[in-house]
Amino acid sequence: MNWGVFFTFYFFISQVTALEKWHAYSKGEQKIRGCSNHISRSLSFDKGSKYSYAKYCKNVNALSTLVGCLADVNVNDTKMFKYIQHECIDEYEIDLPMENLTNAYAYLIQNGVTWKLLKERKYNSTTEILNTPVFLNKTLSTLYVKAQVNFLTSYTNSMYYGIGAVSYWLAVCLVGGLANWSMIWFPSLRNSMNGRISKLWRKWITIPALFGKKQAAVQKLGLFSALVPSRIESVISLLFFGLLIGVNAAEIKYIDQDPIFKVKKIALLRYFSDRTGIVCVVLIPILLLFGGRNNFLMWLTRWKYSTFIAYHRWVGRWVVLLAFLHSIGYTEYFIQYDTYASNMAETYVIWGVVGTACGCLILFQGLLYLRRNWYETFLVIHIILAAFFVIGTWYHVVELGFAQVMIAAIVVWGFDRIVRVARILHFGFPEAQVTLMKDKLEIIVPRPSHWKPIVGGYAWIYFGDKKYFWQSHPFTYMHDEQSVILYTTVHAGITQKIAQKLQDNPSGPSMKMRVSIEGPYGCATPIEHHSDVVFVAGGNGIPGMLNEFKHLLTNEKTKQRIKFNWIVKELTMFEEMAKHFAKLPLSNTEVNIFVTRQPALKSLMGSDESNDTDFKNEGKFDTLSGVSLLQSDFPDINFIMQRPDLDNLVQRDIEEAANSVAFVTCGPPIMVDELRSVIVDKIDKTNKRVDFYDTLEVWT
Ligand SMILES: Cc1cc2nc3c(=O)[nH]c(=O)nc-3n(C[C@H](O)[C@H](O)[C@H](O)COP(=O)(O)OP(=O)(O)OC[C@H]3O[C@@H](n4cnc5c(N)ncnc54)[C@H](O)[C@@H]3O)c2cc1C
Ligand SMILES: *[C@@H]1O[C@H](CO)[C@@H](O)[C@H](O)[C@H]1NC(C)=O
Ligand SMILES: *[C@@H]1O[C@H](CO)[C@@H](O)[C@H](O)[C@H]1NC(C)=O
Ligand SMILES: *[C@@H]1O[C@H](CO)[C@@H](O)[C@H](O)[C@H]1NC(C)=O
Ligand SMILES: *[C@@H]1O[C@H](CO)[C@@H](O)[C@H](O)[C@H]1NC(C)=O
Ligand SMILES: *[C@@H]1O[C@H](CO)[C@@H](O)[C@H](O)[C@H]1NC(C)=O
């Protein structure tokens, strides 16, 4: 092993283990702190700082007063004495003999002055240092202890409430994972789990969009356009919000005659601000986990990345809200104590402000409008702000004992990045053949034999370009033994830059380019055990659909009836992909190509080429030139010159299915949403099991 690496590693581990650790205050410790609080606020035994515990370690009068108070509240036992001993060693490096502790009570009895006496002679702790122990007012001690226990219980439990909030997600993921994996492990469950409840559950909860049809499609509101989470995502997010309210309100109560916080408002403000702050911090690791590409929960649940990104957004909003409430709460708290200026100047507070500010900025810079229009800029700023959110929080809480939580957050983040690099290295940097076709790029990447693709998965591509190497873009792919093939529509970003490069290429619109692929990600669609599988692809959603179709067709074990529908605007789209269809054994399947618009044909009709309305004339032209040529090349494919009626299509496919049918789709958001709503409508109108797998992932 390389010693340099070893020592670096050792250094980090030692740094990490040396950090302040969180610990739950036991009841006894809480009581000691109550007594100490009483002493700090009313007596003075040395010139040291008022709230310091050092006095008990070296001053017999202070120690005896404390032990007297502990006796008053019944915790003057060996366990507590040992605890005090530890504190003296750990915090102040003073070795306090056990004898001194056990003798302290007797010393108090012999030398103590009474509280009453101190009051009578108007003792003032700011001006006078005591040289005798004091019998504290027992009633007051009891009140102090009660208030301190209330405060510290709430403080300690804040950690558990935070862990509870995190556990909610683990529980939700566990249930989701069990539901999805049991269908894989026990395929026959699918048919037996097709009763009324299962159907209603899928019809009303798991499959539909939140309201109406819109899910993959954007809710257009100008600058505030947004992706609406699906119904199940909404339910899960909303339950979490409810849980958060509970978690932040529980056990926040005021003790009457509280001597620590004399005003109820201030006490509640303090408890609530601590609670929101702590719960916020505890949620950070899971927030980062949800945002990562290599989130183990994705494997556990088989949920899509876009689902986790939706949760990432919602958890992120609540985390920022909590940070905000915590900040506002403490600001008000400082103002109430007239210590605003001095507190705000403290380094850890400044870092807290940095964290909260970055969090709030993310809420705005993450708007869909900005993601859509300037994705790479959004991403870079997002990462920088998120980094400062984490760094700010780190310095804010590291000495308060929350370093472990922040380390968990950083480990989660680091792990994702390391796995991403490992995946890229695993794939290598082969030279791909990139070709510009009409409005898209065909990228044929030589496939390393050790790279195992997922049918129905997707991957992120990197281009070995001086300017763009740091960008990665997700694409579904097709694959065979030799290559991974991507079809990418030319948009305004990197795809446009590459298209331009190809256009300017003197030797034609095709060239070799170094690329790397990070993947595969995603899960295979669980369709091996349905009697019928129906693919519905739309436009550029073709590569993934065709890949799944191909692998199902060419698998000898497949005994399913498979149908493939592809809805394209123009016949040329089919022609571009024709070579892939040509290789498929299509004789036992049904393949329908729906062409919704045909400029060449339209000009035949004498209408304006710029008229973009969809071609609706029913099936009149399927014998015309281009089509008839194609038809003779592809006798097994039905070319239908019209937009399909999805309702009819689904109805027919359900009727023809033997006992279960899976609809698998990818395409334009509006089409996918339409299909979803049609299927949701039909799910409980048949005895057959109907499943819907939407492989479209939208998060930008
Ligand atoms: C799982 C998945 C599979 C996809 N498969 C295909 C496919 O097979 N064929 C295809 O043509 N397109 C596919 N896309 C879309 C494709 O990723 C984007 O069109 C591409 O990243 C645009 O690159 P650009 O720089 O040219 O885009 P821009 O012109 O900069 O942006 C166009 C759109 O793409 C979004 N976008 C840009 N970069 C990213 C990114 N890194 N991650 C996510 N969204 C981004 C923008 O928000 C915007 O909405 C897929 C997307 C996802 C999420
Ligand atoms: C413990 O008690 C002894 C005897 O009273 C005293 O000399 C010593 O200073 C005490 N130690 C501490 C750390 O207070
Ligand atoms: C604890 O307090 C009781 C009085 O409440 C006293 O009798 C006893 O000696 C104390 N024990 C110790 C170890 O100081
Ligand atoms: C104690 O003394 C300080 C300084 O002389 C004074 O400001 C303060 O008001 C006094 N406190 C009480 C309770 O008398
Ligand atoms: C002890 O404290 C209580 C509560 O503050 C008070 O009512 C009582 O008068 C005090 N007793 C003495 C002796 O000061
Ligand atoms: C497109 O054609 C339809 C029917 O022929 C016509 O009603 C419409 O006005 C045309 N639109 C445009 C933009 O030319």
Which ligand lies nearest to the CA atom of residue 124 in the structure? 4
Please choose from 120, 122, 125, 127 the residue to mutate so as to test ligand 4's pocket, defined by most ligand atoms within 8 A of CB: 127
Residues 488 and 504 in one domain: yes
pLDDT tens, position by position, 36-88: 999 999 999 999 888 899 999 999 999 999 999 999 999 999 999 999 999 99
pLDDT tens, position by position, 492-509: 999 999 999 999 999 999
CA distance 139 to 391: 45
Range of the domain at 59: 20-136
Nearest CA to ligand 5 atom 11: 137
pLDDT tens, position by position, 648-675: 999 999 999 999 999 999 999 999 999 9
| Nearest residue to 535 via CA among 550, 515, 514 | 550
Cross-strand pairs, 640 = 594
Nearest CA to ligand 4 atom 13: 124
Please report the atom of ligand 3 found closest to the CA of residue 74: 5
| Nearest residue to 86 via CA among 96, 76, 99 | 96
Inform me whether the pLDDT recorded for 332 exceeds 90: yes
Nearest CA to ligand 5 atom 10: 137
Angle at alpha carbon of residue 696, lines to 685 and 597, rounded to 5°: 85
Cross-strand pairs, 536 = 565, 665
Nearest CA to ligand 3 atom 13: 102
CA distance 510 to 435: 4
Please report the atom of ligand 1 found closest to the CA of residue 489: 11
What is the mean pLDDT of the segment spanning 380-384? 97
CA distance 247 to 365: 28
The residue type found at 295 is N
Q: Who's near 226: CB < 8 A, 6+ residues apart?
A: 218, 219, 368
Residues 466 and 576 in one domain: no
Out of 19-23, 54-58, 439-443, 647-651, pick the least confident.
19-23
CA distance 74 to 230: 56
Out of 521, 542, 557, a domain closes at: 521
Residues 453 and 587 in one domain: no
Please choose from 46, 60, 67, 99 the residue to mutate so as to test ligand 2's pocket, defined by most ligand atoms within 8 A of CB: 60
- Distance from the CA of 181 to the center of ligand 5, in angstroms? 66
CA distance 513 to 469: 12
State the total domains in the chain.
4
The residue ranges of DSSP E strands in 572-696, in sequence order, are 590-595, 637-640, 660-666, 689-694
Nearest CA to ligand 4 atom 12: 124
CATH of the domain at 611: 3.40.50.80
Average pLDDT, the chain: 92
With tokens 């700011």, the residue in question is 126
> Chain-centre distance of CA 255, in angstroms?
38
- HSE-up of residue 630 (Cα within 13 Å, Cβ side): 25
Query: In this structure, is residue 142 part of a structural domain?
Result: no
Nearest CA to ligand 3 atom 9: 105
Inform me whether the pLDDT recorded for 582 exceeds 90: yes
Please report the atom of ligand 3 found closest to the CA of residue 104: 14
Please give the structure tokens belonging to residue 430.
């082969």
Residues 265 and 225 in one domain: yes
CA distance 523 to 541: 17
Please give the structure tokens belonging to residue 367.
């708007």
Query: In this structure, is residue 76 part of a structural domain?
Result: yes
698 pocket-lining for ligand 3 (C-beta < 6 Å): no
Query: In this structure, is residue 6 part of a structural domain?
Result: no
CA distance 385 to 40: 41
Q: What is the percentage of the chain residues whose pLDDT exceeds 70? A: 96
Asked if residue 553 lies in contact with residue 692, where contact means CB atoms within 8 angstroms, the answer is no
78 pocket-lining for ligand 3 (C-beta < 6 Å): no
Residues 345 and 441 in one domain: no
CA distance 578 to 443: 16
Please give the span between the terminal C-alpha atoms of the chain, in angstroms, as a whole number.
Answer: 44
141 pocket-lining for ligand 5 (C-beta < 6 Å): no
Query: In this structure, is residue 487 part of a structural domain?
Result: yes
pLDDT at 104: 96
CA distance 361 to 384: 11
> Chain-centre distance of CA 278, in angstroms?
19
Residues 94 and 226 in one domain: no
Please choose from 609, 611, 615 the residue to mutate so as to test ligand 6's pocket, defined by most ligand atoms within 8 A of CB: 611
Confidence category of residue 632, pLDDT binned at 50, 70, 90: confident
Which ligand lies nearest to the CA atom of residue 478 in the structure? 1
**Neighbour-count burial of 605, counting CB atoms closer than 10 A to its CB (0-12 exposed, 13-18 middle, 19+ buried):** exposed
Out of 395, 422, 449, a domain closes at: 422
Residue 60: helix, strand or coil by DSSP? helix
Inform me whether the pLDDT recorded for 212 exceeds 80: yes
Confidence category of residue 618, pLDDT binned at 50, 70, 90: very low
**Neighbour-count burial of 122, counting CB atoms closer than 10 A to its CB (0-12 exposed, 13-18 middle, 19+ buried):** exposed
Confidence category of residue 625, pLDDT binned at 50, 70, 90: low
Strands 510-521, 458-463: pairing kind: antiparallel
Asked if residue 672 lies in contact with residue 538, where contact means CB atoms within 8 angstroms, the answer is yes
- Distance from the CA of 611 to the center of ligand 6, in angstroms? 6
Residues 580 and 594 in one domain: yes
- Helices 27-42 and 138-185, axial angle in degrees (round to 10): 140
The residue ranking higher by pLDDT, 128 or 4, is 128
pLDDT at 1: 53
Residues 158 and 77 in one domain: no
- Distance from the CA of 162 to the center of ligand 2, in angstroms? 43
Strands 532-538, 561-568: pairing kind: parallel
The residue type found at 325 is L
Asked if residue 317 lies in contact with residue 200, where contact means CB atoms within 8 angstroms, the answer is no
pLDDT tens, position by position, 134-193: 999 999 999 999 999 999 999 999 999 999 999 999 999 999 999 999 999 998 888 888
Confidence category of residue 31, pLDDT binned at 50, 70, 90: very high
Out of 404-413, 424-433, 611-620, pick the least confident.
611-620
pLDDT at 557: 83
Pocket of ligand 1 (CB under 6 A): 371-372, 375, 458, 472-476, 487-489, 491-496, 540, 543, 697, 700
- Distance from the CA of 140 to the center of ligand 4, in angstroms? 20
Residues 558 and 670 in one domain: yes
105 pocket-lining for ligand 3 (C-beta < 6 Å): yes
Which ligand lies nearest to the CA atom of residue 106 in the structure? 3
Query: In this structure, is residue 70 part of a structural domain?
Result: yes
Residues 76 and 129 in one domain: yes
pLDDT at 624: 56
> Chain-centre distance of CA 582, in angstroms?
42
Asked if residue 573 lies in contact with residue 594, where contact means CB atoms within 8 angstroms, the answer is no
H helix runs in 337-346, sequence order: 340-344
What is the mean pLDDT of the segment spanning 252-280? 96
Query: In this structure, is residue 455 part of a structural domain?
Result: yes
Please report the atom of ligand 1 found closest to the CA of residue 378: 47
- Distance from the CA of 123 to the center of ligand 4, in angstroms? 10
CA distance 45 to 91: 19
Please give the structure tokens belonging to residue 74.
């019944």
Alpha-carbon Rg for the chain, nearest whole angstrom, is 34
Residue 51: helix, strand or coil by DSSP? coil
CA distance 627 to 3: 69
Residues 126 and 182 in one domain: no
Please give the structure tokens belonging to residue 314.
């919602």
CA distance 391 to 384: 10
> Chain-centre distance of CA 321, in angstroms?
16
Which ligand lies nearest to the CA atom of residue 88 in the structure? 2
- Distance from the CA of 125 to the center of ligand 4, in angstroms? 8
Please give the structure tokens belonging to residue 352.
């807290």
Inform me whether the pLDDT recorded for 556 exceeds 90: no
| Nearest residue to 677 via CA among 647, 642, 657 | 647
Strands 458-463, 440-446: pairing kind: unpaired
Strands 637-640, 590-595: pairing kind: parallel
94 pocket-lining for ligand 2 (C-beta < 6 Å): yes
Angle at alpha carbon of residue 125, lines to 120 and 127, rounded to 5°: 100
With tokens 């609406």, the residue in question is 228
Report the 10 Å Cβ neighbour count for 6.
Answer: 10
**Neighbour-count burial of 658, counting CB atoms closer than 10 A to its CB (0-12 exposed, 13-18 middle, 19+ buried):** exposed
116 pocket-lining for ligand 5 (C-beta < 6 Å): yes
Query: In this structure, is residue 526 part of a structural domain?
Result: no
Asked if residue 664 lies in contact with residue 566, where contact means CB atoms within 8 angstroms, the answer is no
Residue 135: helix, strand or coil by DSSP? strand
pLDDT at 599: 59
Asked if residue 444 lies in contact with residue 483, where contact means CB atoms within 8 angstroms, the answer is yes
Q: Which residues of 64-75 are buried (b: 16+ CB within 10 A; e: fewer)?
A: bbbbbbbbbbeb
CA distance 184 to 581: 29
What is the mean pLDDT of the segment spanning 527-550? 96
Residue 608: helix, strand or coil by DSSP? coil
CATH of the domain at 443: 2.40.30
Residues 337 and 223 in one domain: yes
- Distance from the CA of 208 to the center of ligand 1, in angstroms? 24
Please tell me what DSSP assigns to residue 306.
H
CA distance 620 to 265: 78
Please report the atom of ligand 4 found closest to the CA of residue 125: 1
pLDDT at 361: 98
Query: In this structure, is residue 144 part of a structural domain?
Result: no
Out of 521, 550, 583, a domain closes at: 521
Q: What are phi and psi of 663, to 5 degrees?
A: -100, 125
Asked if residue 280 lies in contact with residue 322, where contact means CB atoms within 8 angstroms, the answer is yes
102 pocket-lining for ligand 3 (C-beta < 6 Å): yes
pLDDT at 504: 95
In terms of pTM, does the model score above 0.85? Answer: yes
